[in-house]
């Protein structure tokens, strides 16, 4: 397994989060999250189940509102945007759901063109078809064009879900556990896809995962969400070269046991 070479690119961060708090009733999920992501950089977010990783990216995409703190994406404070501006920002963000969230009542083609025909005006049938086929080809599932989501396997659904988010050529990709529950070979395919998206579209990204091999391959940087904040950030080596028992446990679970 090859660790990624560090990418260095200057310019303002595409995502900048400061002092983010979020709780649900009594449950304090995020307690002072700080995070910066640079242009073209993939950051892996690790953390135990229920630590608030999904909540974090839902706040970034404006699905949930923060209780406190600043969330700045591509220069915009997400929670202050009106409906129209939020929609404009979301065109630049691709969100791949933990559950894939494909539209069951539509086939693969309709799933992919759904965001495109509604947000980009004046596209002809031919251009739409071409874009759909191009994107499906990029995830290696061109032959599934006319299938219904219920006829696909879990890994295929994940890839179609990622393809759907690529239709709008996003600048930022948010992957929620892209490899969870998949066999090792499919995991490698998805990891490669994530890296390819990064280079092909020069996209930045957040990759949430429990899977350290995925973290190692896709992450330029790793951030560990513990007790509601990022306690450790850095390269894969930096984060795991520690005596902290909780972090060691995380590592051991993946590689030794």
Partner 1 sequence: MLSKGLDDYFIGVYNAYKFIARFFRQAFQGPFEFREIVRQCYEVGYKSLPLITLTGFVIGMVFTKQSRPSLIAFGATSWLPSLIAIATIRALAPLVTGLITSGKVGSHIGAEIGSMKVTEQIDAMEVSATNPFRFLVVTRVIATTFMIPVLAMYCGFVGMMGSFLNIYQNEKTSFSTFIAEAFKQITFLDIGASLIKATAFGFTIGIVGTYKGYHATQGTQGVGKAANAAVVLSMFLIFVEELVIVQVSNWFRN
Ligand X SMILES: Nc1ncnc2c1ncn2[C@@H]1O[C@H](COP(=O)(O)OP(=O)(O)OP(=O)(O)O)[C@@H](O)[C@H]1O
Residues in contact with ligand X by the rule CB under 6 A: 24, 27, 29, 47, 49-55, 98
Query: Should residue 132 be labelled a site residue for partner 1 when binding is judged by CB under 8 A?
Result: no
**Partner in contact with 118, chosen from partner 1, ligand X, Mg ion, none, beta carbon below 5 to 8 Å by kind:** partner 1
Residue 234 to residue 239: CA distance in whole angstroms: 6
Nearer to partner 1, 95 or 236 (CB): 95
Q: In what order do the strands lie in the sheet with 76-77?
A: 27-37, 15-24, 68-73, 76-77
**CA atoms within 13 Å, Cβ hemisphere of 222:** 26
Residues 6+ apart with CB under 8 A from 46: 209, 210, 212, 215, 222, 223, 224, 225, 250
Q: Which residue is nearest to Mg ion (CB)?
A: 54
Q: Which two tokens stand for residue 223?
A: 């951030």
Scanning residues 156 to 185, which ones bind partner 1 (CB under 8 A)? 164-165, 168
Residue 102 interacts with which of ligand X, Mg ion, partner 1, none, CB < 5 to 8 Å by class: partner 1
Minimum CB separation of residue 87 from partner 1 in Å reads 5
Q: How far is 132 from 111, CA to CA, in rounded Å?
A: 10
Q: Please give the residue ranges that form the binding site for partner 1 (CB under 8 A).
A: 58, 61-63, 87-88, 90-91, 93, 95, 97-99, 101-105, 114-115, 118-119, 164-165, 168
């Amino acid at each position: 397994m090859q660790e990624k070479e560090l990418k260095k690119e200057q310019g303002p961060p595409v995502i900048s989060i400061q002092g983010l708090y979020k709780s649900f009733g009594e449950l304090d999920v995020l307690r002072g999250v700080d995070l910066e992501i640079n242009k073209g950089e993939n950051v892996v977010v690790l953390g135990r189940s229920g630590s608030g990783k999904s909540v974090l990216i839902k706040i970034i995409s404006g699905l949930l509102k923060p209780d406190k703190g600043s969330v700045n994406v591509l220069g915009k404070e997400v929670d202050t945007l009106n409906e129209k501006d939020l929609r404009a920002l979301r065109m630049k963000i691709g969100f791949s759901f933990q559950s894939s969230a494909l539209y069951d009542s539509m086939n693969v083609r309709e799933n992919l063109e759904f965001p495109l025909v509604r947000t980009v005006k004046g596209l002809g049938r031919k251009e739409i078809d071409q874009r759909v086929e191009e994107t499906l080809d990029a995830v290696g599932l061109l032959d599934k064009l006319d299938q219904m989501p219920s006829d696909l396997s879990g890994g295929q659904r994940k890839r179609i879900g990622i393809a759907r988010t690529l239709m709008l050529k996003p600048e930022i990709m948010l992957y929620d556990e892209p490899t969870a529950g998949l066999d090792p070979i499919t995991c490698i395919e998805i990891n490669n896809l994530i890296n390819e998206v990064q280079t092909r579209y020069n996209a930045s990204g957040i990759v949430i995962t429990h899977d350290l091999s995925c973290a190692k391959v896709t992450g330029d940087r790793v951030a560990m969400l513990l007790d509601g904040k990022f306690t450790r950030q850095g390269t894969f080596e930096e984060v795991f070269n520690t005596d902290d028992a909780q972090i060691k446990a995380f590592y051991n679970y993946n590689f030794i046991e």
